[in-house]
Homo-oligomer: A and B are copies of this chain.
Amino acid sequence: MDDEVGAAGGLIRLTFLVQGVYAEVGRDCDLTAAQAQMLCSVADRSVGMAELSAVLGLEKSSVTGLVDRAEQRGLVLREQDPSDRRAVRVSLTPAGRRALTKFRAEVTARLDEVLDALPATERERFTRTVRRIVADVPAVFAD
């Protein structure tokens, strides 16, 4: 009766699996899940706090703390927005870029490994369906 996993239960276990990979790789790269998320959202751009707040689904004050800690660790940089004196632009430092690159590569490799265990046709169908389901979910982890 443990085999009797409902569809929803399966999705939840899958989420656990992915979260586990995230946490493990994060440990390797010395990033928490929240930090990794944030670095992914900044990536190669320069982002305002309000936008980060929206993308990450966190309160502005939470983002302030997240960016504070990442800045102290030398992963990101705050710069004044030249066109709006209230605003701040967050971008990655070289160290932040390195950490993000490593994190993304390892997460991708690990998840691809999971998918590669499937027969080719099944894998392709599965991936296509996943894409369809998440079409509306914001791309925090852009490729």
Distance (whole angstroms) from the CB of A44 to the closest CB of chain B: 13
Contacts of A125 in B (CB 8 A): 122, 125-126, 129
- Are A134 and B17 in contact, CB atoms less than 8 angstroms apart? yes
- Are A115 and B13 in contact, CB atoms less than 8 angstroms apart? no
Q: A11-B130, A14-B130 are in contact. List 10 more A-B contacts (CB 8 A).
A: A5-B139, A6-B108, A8-B112, A9-B139, A9-B142, A11-B111, A12-B18, A14-B15, A14-B134, A126-B130
Interface residues of chain A, those whose CB is within 8 Å of chain B, are: 2, 4-20, 22, 57, 107-108, 111-112, 114-115, 117-118, 122-123, 125-127, 129-134, 137-143
- Are B140 and A118 in contact, CB atoms less than 8 angstroms apart? no
How many copies altogether?
Answer: 2
- Are B137 and A129 in contact, CB atoms less than 8 angstroms apart? no
